Amino acid sequence: MANLDTIEKTKEMSTTAKAGSAPSRAPRVAVAGVSGYAGGELARLLLRHPGMDGSAPIFLGRARETAADTATTIESIHPQLAMIGTKATHLVEPFHWDRLSEAGTEILFLALPHEQSREWAPEAIERGIRVVDLSGAWRLQDESNRAVYKLHDANPALAAKLQDEAVYGCPELHRDEIRTARLVANPGCYSTSVILALRPLVRAGIVDLDCGIICDAKSGVSGAGKAPTSKTHFMYAADNLSAYSVFGHRHTGELLEQLCLTADQIQFTPHLLPIPRGILSTIYLRLKHAMKPAEIEHLFREFYQGSPLVRLHATPQLPQIQHVVRTNFCDLGFALAEDGKRLVVVSCLDNLLKGAAGQAVQNMNVMCGWKEEEGLL
Ligand SMILES: NC(=O)C1=CN([C@@H]2O[C@H](COP(=O)(O)OP(=O)(O)OC[C@H]3O[C@@H](n4cnc5c(N)ncnc54)[C@H](OP(=O)(O)O)[C@@H]3O)[C@@H](O)[C@H]2O)C=CC1
Ligand SMILES: CC(=O)N[C@@H](CCC(=O)OP(=O)(O)O)C(=O)O
């Protein structure tokens, strides 16, 4: 179990050694949860990543439960990954801390249920391993927002310290902190689409928050992970469109914290779309003063200058799911009413890529001092 003293010591070592400097060699990387949807995409991206220099990541399944549990191969779980990258056969090994330490692991991706990430991230950091966590376990600073995840901390003082240190892994917003972070909390998929659409506008102070912002978001079924439920079963999801978690979806807290809004200023309603992957968020708001489309466009372009994975459509074009699926981009577009005040912003991304694995690799690139889009275009 991780403890506070060693966590402090590894922090000193980590900031001295890794203060944003580009490594001269490929970092030793591991992926836990590689058999899941997000883990599979991570494996694909890492196997083809030029910075990995042919050195394959360590792929990890569940911890060994019986002596009979042995390693399997990545292509037996994800056949689409056969012959990708180094073209070697890559093992998926049972999770074991000693294996990670002996291999000199520097960055560990956690593509796991929230509870498991909350338990394993402190242990990794104590061992001097930097973490990119794809779950919601460390994204929220406000305890009342985090309560939606029902997390349990074996060592609450240590967890509070790490929570304080965790950086919200949206590079377009927090690039500088991510460079030296030990714990990067990769954003939620819906949250990424809404935050990237709204942050330039809210920050510029042009949104009439008294009128409220409405986010109508729709996601493909892979957003729910690989375990089927009655709501993601083909018979429910196919030829259907349904709203859910109308008040209190777990991504709402991320919107409040990252956009500095209060709950009465934004309504987020997710819907399940009968497609495998992709998110489209349509966001309705009112501006304080009438503006011209060119002024809105300028605002977005200025904010995302130097952000290679956000693409702005020229009006009147609007983003579509087909244009972003299997890419690492978030596409943004908008329409402004003739009164210059009613603004609709549309944001699109692939939930498994820019909404999860792609963004996680983008974070790794920033942590390694590489080009942010390395291996992602
Ligand atoms: N799907 C998406 O679009 C997005 C997902 N995320 C987050 O990323 C994480 C992974 O999501 P996703 O890939 O969809 O989920 P999946 O359900 O598809 O995969 C979960 C993975 O975690 C493993 N796992 C489950 N329990 C344990 C455990 N106790 N110990 C070790 N491994 C375990 C599973 O292994 P096994 O195969 O053995 O069951 C599997 O590899 C989640 O936290 C999710 O919230 C974030 C953004 C978007
Ligand atoms: C379609 C679908 O069910 N989507 C998921 C998206 C959650 C997700 O993946 O994000 P986290 O990392 O916060 O779990 C949901 O609405 O719960």
Q: DSSP characters for 17-74?
A: HHSSPPPSSPPPEEEESTTSHHHHHHHHHHHT-GGGTT-PPEEEEEEP-STT---EEH
Which one of the ligands is nearest to 268 CA? 2
Write down the pLDDT at residue 25: 80
Write down the pLDDT at residue 13: 47
Neighbours of 324 (CB within 10 A): 26
Complete DSSP assignment for 179-225: HH-SEEEPPPHHHHHHHHHHHHHHHTT-B-TTT-EEEEEEE-GGGG-
How far from 95 is each of 297, 333, 371, CA to CA, in Å?
A: 47, 43, 30
The CATH architecture of the domain made up of 189-351 is: 2-Layer Sandwich (3.30)
Give the Å distance between the CA of 345 and the centre of ligand 1: 30
Top mutation candidate among 251, 252, 258, 281 for ligand 2, by most atoms within 8 Å of CB: 251
Residue 12 has pLDDT above 70, yes or no: no
Write down the pLDDT at residue 22: 58
Complete DSSP assignment for 120-181: HHHHHHHTT-EEEE-SSTTS--SHHHHGGG----SSHHHHHHHHHH-EE--HHHHHHHHHH-
Give the Å distance between the CA of 110 and the centre of ligand 1: 9
Q: What is the pLDDT of residues 56-84, one digit of tens each?
A: 899 999 998 766 667 899 999 999 999 88
Output the CA torsion sign for 172, 178, 184, 185: negative
- Residue 352's identity, in one-letter code, is L
The CATH architecture of the domain made up of 4-187+356-367 is: 3-Layer(aba) Sandwich (3.40)
- 189 noted as active-site residue: yes
Residue nearest to atom 1 of ligand 1 (CA): 223
Write down the pLDDT at residue 24: 62
Q: In what order do the strands lie in the sheet with 266-272?
A: 242-243, 266-272, 213-219, 279-286, 342-349, 330-336, 310-312
Query: Taking Cα atoms as reference points, which of 178, 156, 141 lies closest to residue 4?
Result: 156
**Mean pLDDT over residues 199-227, rounded?**
98
List the catalytic residue out of 189, 215, 330, 348: 189
Ligand 1 pocket check for 222: Cβ under 6 Å? yes
Give the Å distance between the CA of 93 and the centre of ligand 1: 16
Write down the pLDDT at residue 5: 59
Spatial distance between the Cα atoms of 249 and 272, rounded to a whole number of angstroms: 13
Give the Å distance between the CA of 35 and the centre of ligand 1: 8
Spatial distance between the Cα atoms of 161 and 138, rounded to a whole number of angstroms: 11
Write down the pLDDT at residue 10: 57
Residue 264 has pLDDT above 50, yes or no: yes
Domain boundaries, the chain: 4-187+356-367, 189-351
Q: What is the pLDDT of residues 19-46, one digit of tens each?
A: 445 566 889 999 999 999 999 999 999 9
Write down the pLDDT at residue 89: 85
Q: What is the mean pLDDT of the chain?
A: 93
Write down the pLDDT at residue 19: 44
Residue 277 has pLDDT above 90, yes or no: yes
Contact 169, 132 (CB under 8 A): yes
